[in-house]
Structure 1
Amino acid sequence: MTDQLQELVINGRFLMQPTTGVQRVAREITREIDHLVANGDVPLRVRLVCEADADIGDLNLRAMQVERTRHAHGHVWEQFVLPRHVKGGRLLCLGNTAPIVTLLGRKPVALMIHDLSYRLFPDAYRRHYKLGHALMLPFLLRRADPIVTVSETEKAMFTSLVPGARHRLIVAQNGGWRAGCDARAAPPPDIDATRGDYILYVGSLSHRKNIAGVLAVGIAMARERGIPLVLVGSSGAFLSPLPVSIPDDVRHLIRLEGQVEDLGRLGDLYRNARCLLFPSFYEASPLPPLEAMHFACPVVASDIPSMRERCGDAAAYCDPYDHDSIHRAVTSVLDDPGYARMLAGRGLAQASRYSWREQARIILSAIFDLQTVQPGQ
C-alpha cells in the first residue's frame, strides 16, 4: 500500500539560509505538512532533501524522511545536487527559486514565490541578487505548476507579468504565531493588561521596509515622550547597506536587538510592547503584524492593499510616505487606551483567521488535487 502513495519532495535549501520571513514560512509549512502526514490527514509519502549539515532540530518531524546530501552548497546545491534526488516525486520549492533541470522535466514543480520586492525596490538589494532573480523569474512563472503566492494582491501582480500563468496561481496566506511555540507558556493575552514602555519594530533593516520612517518617528517619540524604540532585525547579505544613524541625545532610547531567533524571546517582545510599528512600503503577507496581534499588541501599519488584505480592520493605518501620518497613528494608539484595547481585541480575532496548517493544506491540495485533505484539529 505504501508503494502506491504519491511522493512529495521538499527542497530543503531554506534550512541553510539565515532565518528571515521566507525561511520562517518554509519551516512552518514543512512542519505542518509533516503533521498532516503523521496524523493520516493526507495520503502521501514525503522526503525532505537538504544539505548534510542542515539543522532540522526545531522541526520535530514525525513522518517525513530526511535525506541529507553532500558535495555542494547553496545555489550550486539546489541547481545540480537536488535534482538527482527528486526521482519520481513531485518537487516543492518554498523559497522563490527552483532547479532549472527539474523545471524542464516531465513532472511539474510546485513553487512558492513570496513577493516581487526586488523589482519594485531595486535600490534595497545587491546587484547579484537582483540579476539572479530577474533572469530566473520569467522562466519560473512559465514552467512552475502550481505557483503559490501569499496574497490576492501579489497574485494580481504576477498575472500582470505573465497573463498565461493565471490558471496556475493559487493564494495561500501565511499563518501567524505558531500555537505552542512559546517556551515560556505564558497565559492568554489580556487586552486590558498594562503593556510595556516601548514601541516595537520587527523586520529587516531595509529601504522597502521603510526603516528610515520607523527611525524618524521613533526618534521623535523618544525626544517628545522619552519612550524607547526597540528594533528587531538585521540587514541580510542580499540587502544593500543601509546606514543607521542615531542621534546622541536619544541613543540610550533606541535599542538594536538584531535578529531574534528565539521565538520565546520574540513573543515576550510582542507581549510587552505598547504597539508594533510596521509602516512598510511593500509587503505580500507579512508575519510581524499577525504575530503582534496574537499577543494583543496594537498594530500601526502602512495603508497599502496587501496590508489591508492581511490585517483587515485590526490595525491603525498610516501613509508610509508621510512621517507625520505615521506619527499621528502611533500617537492615537499611545494616547487613547480605549482605541488601543479595541485594536488589540480586533487583532486577536484577526490572528485567529490564519494558520500554518491551513496554508499547508491549500498547497498540498493544489499540488496533488487531494480531495481527502481533512480539517486539522
Structure 2
Amino acid sequence: MHIAIDAHSVGTGLGGNESYATHLIEALAEIDGVNSYTLYVTRREAVERFTNRWPNFQVRATLPHTPFIRIPLTLGAELRKNPVDVLHVQFTAPPLAPCPVVVSIHDLSFEHLPETFKWRSRTQLRLTVRRSARQAAQVLALSEYARSDIINTYGISPDKVTAIPLAAPAHFAPVTDDREFQRVRQTYGIQSDYILSVGSIQPRKNLNRLIAAYSSLRRARPEGKLPQIVLVGKCAWLYDETLRTIKELGLSNSVVLTGYVPETDLPALYSGALCFVYPSYFEGFGLPPLEAMKCGTPVIVGNKTSLPEVVGEAGVLVDPFDVDDIASAIASVIGDSNFRSQLRAKGLERSRLFDWRETARQTLAIYRKAAGVD
C-alpha cells in the first residue's frame, strides 16, 4: 500500500496540527516498515526533519503554504501524476482527489464558536471541511465527543467516523534535575513557584476567567504570597483581550507570558509547576493536560467537550464558566501537598493509557479500510 500524508503543518509552529502530523508520522515509521509513504510538506523544517530518515518514506515539497489553495490545486495535481492508494489530510481534502481520502478533523470550533475565528479563516473552514468530511472515505476524530459532534453536525454515517485519541511523546516524563528547572526559569523569567497553563492565547482557552480566578484568590489572601501564573503559547487572534485583563487587574508582575516554547522545554516547565490549569471550554481532544499528567503535574481542567475523556478521574474538573469554581480548585490543589501527590500518581497512571504507537496502529487500520485493503 502506498500512503500519502499531507504534512504542511510541520514547521509552522501551529500547535496541535503540527504536533499531530509530526508524531503520527514518526510513530507510523516506527511500527510500519512494509508500506510506502510520501509526505507532502511545504516548510524547510519539515524537509530537514523527515528526509532520509526511513527507507520506506519519501518527502515531496509543494507550494504554496496555504492549504486552502495548495490542497485543492497543487496536491490534487501531484496525486494524479504520482498515484497512491490513500491520502491522509487534516480538515481539507482535494475536491477531486484521484484516490480514497482519510480526513482528520480535530474539532468543529469554527462551526460552534465562529466569533473566535477571523472572518476569512472561519469562512474557508466552513466551505471546505463539511465537503471534505462528506466526500472522505473515512473521517478521524480525536475523541468520542468530537466523533459525535462531526456525525451530528455534518450528517455523516457513524460507520465512517472513528475516534482515535492522541498521545504525549515519550520525552514527556517527570523531570527531577534542579539544573533543568533553574534553566527554564531563567529562560522564561519565572521568579517563584508557579501555576502553569499551556495553549495558544485565544478566547476559547478561557484564560480571562483563569486570570480572574487568580485575582480573586489574591484578594482573599492579602497576607499570603501566591505563586505566579505562567502562560505558555503563541498569541493568537483576540489575544489582546487577555493582555487587557491582566493589566486591568494589576497582575502584570504576577503573570508570565512566555510566547512560543519549543517542545523540548515543556517537560521541565510542566514538572516544575505546582499545578496545571486548562479551563478551555471547547476542545476536540486537549493534549496539554495529557502532557502535564505524563510529567506528573496535578491537573485542573474544564468539564466540557472532550476534556473529561482525556483526564478521567485523574484530575480536578471545573465549570469553565464559573470563576469561583476555578479559584476553589486552584486553592485546593496548591494548598494541599497530599492532594497534589494523589493527583500526581493518578495522572501518571492515566497517561499510560495513551501511546502514539497504538494511535499509529489504529490509524494504519483506517488507511487499509479506506483503500479497501484487508
TM-score, structure 1 as length reference: 0.85
CA shift, 1:74, in A, is: 1.9
Match of 1:191 in 2: none
Q: How do 1:36-47 residues align onto structure 2 when only pairs under 5 Å count?
A: 36-37=31-32, 40=33, 43-47=34-38
Match of 1:26 in 2: 21
Match of 2:139 in 1: 147
1:51 aligns with 2:46: no
In structure 1, what residue type is equivalent to 2:165? Q
**Distance of 1:64 and 1:279 partners within structure 2:** 42
Report Cα offsets for 1:118-172 as digits up to 9, x if no partner: 1221111100011011111221121112100011111111111233431110110
SS at match of 2:60: strand
Match of 2:197 in 1: 201
CA shift, 1:100, in A, is: 1.7
**Distance of 2:304 and 2:141 partners within structure 1:** 17
CA contact (8 A) 1:142 1:165 kept: no
**Distance of 2:43 and 2:128 partners within structure 1:** 26
Match of 1:3 in 2: none
CA shift, 1:339, in A, is: 1.3
**Distance of 1:205 and 1:53 partners within structure 2:** 26
Match of 2:260 in 1: 259
Change in Cα spacing, 1:52 to 1:340, as seen in structure 2 (3 Å) is closer
CA shift, 1:93, in A, is: 3.3
CA shift, 1:357, in A, is: 1.3
Where structure 1 has 5 or more consecutive residues not aligned to the other structure, the ranges are 1-5, 188-195, 371-377
CA contact (8 A) 2:200 2:234 kept: yes
Match among 100, 113, 123 for residue 115 of structure 2: 123
SS at match of 1:367: helix
CA contact (8 A) 1:34 1:62 kept: yes
Match among 76, 91, 94 for residue 83 of structure 1: 76
Change in Cα spacing, 1:242 to 1:63, as seen in structure 2 (3 Å) is farther
Report Cα offsets for 1:310-332 as digits up to 9, x if no partner: 11101111110000000001111
**Distance of 2:129 and 2:250 partners within structure 1:** 46
Change in Cα spacing, 1:114 to 1:13, as seen in structure 2 (3 Å) is same
CA contact (8 A) 1:173 1:359 kept: yes
**Distance of 2:50 and 2:36 partners within structure 1:** 17
1:172 aligns with 2:164: yes
Match of 2:189 in 1: none
**Distance of 1:181 and 1:329 partners within structure 2:** 25
Change in Cα spacing, 1:66 to 1:160, as seen in structure 2 (3 Å) is same
Match of 1:346 in 2: 346
In structure 2, what residue type is equivalent to 1:85? E
CA shift, 1:92, in A, is: 3.4
Match among 209, 219, 227 for residue 215 of structure 2: 219
When structure 1 is superposed on structure 2, of 74-83 and 315-324 the one drifting more is 74-83
Match of 2:182 in 1: none
**Distance of 1:306 and 1:52 partners within structure 2:** 31
CA shift, 1:26, in A, is: 1.1
Match of 2:105 in 1: 113
SS at match of 1:290: helix
CA contact (8 A) 1:175 1:359 kept: yes
CA contact (8 A) 1:200 1:277 kept: yes
CA contact (8 A) 1:141 1:165 kept: no
1:289 aligns with 2:307: no
Report Cα offsets for 1:216-271 as digits up to 9, x if no partner: 123344563332000001233xx34542122374322210001112x221111101
Match of 2:328 in 1: 328
**Distance of 1:54 and 1:338 partners within structure 2:** 44
Match of 1:193 in 2: none
CA shift, 1:101, in A, is: 2.4
CA contact (8 A) 2:271 2:297 kept: yes
CA contact (8 A) 2:145 2:284 kept: yes
In structure 1, what residue type is equivalent to 2:162? I
CA shift, 1:110, in A, is: 0.8
**Distance of 2:322 and 2:103 partners within structure 1:** 36
In structure 1, what residue type is equivalent to 2:22? R
1:272 aligns with 2:272: yes
Change in Cα spacing, 1:62 to 1:218, as seen in structure 2 (3 Å) is farther
CA shift, 1:91, in A, is: 4.0
SS at match of 2:227: coil
Match of 1:13 in 2: 8
In structure 2, what residue type is equivalent to 1:50? V
Percentage of pairs with the same residue = 25
Q: CA RMSD, aligned part only? A: 2.4
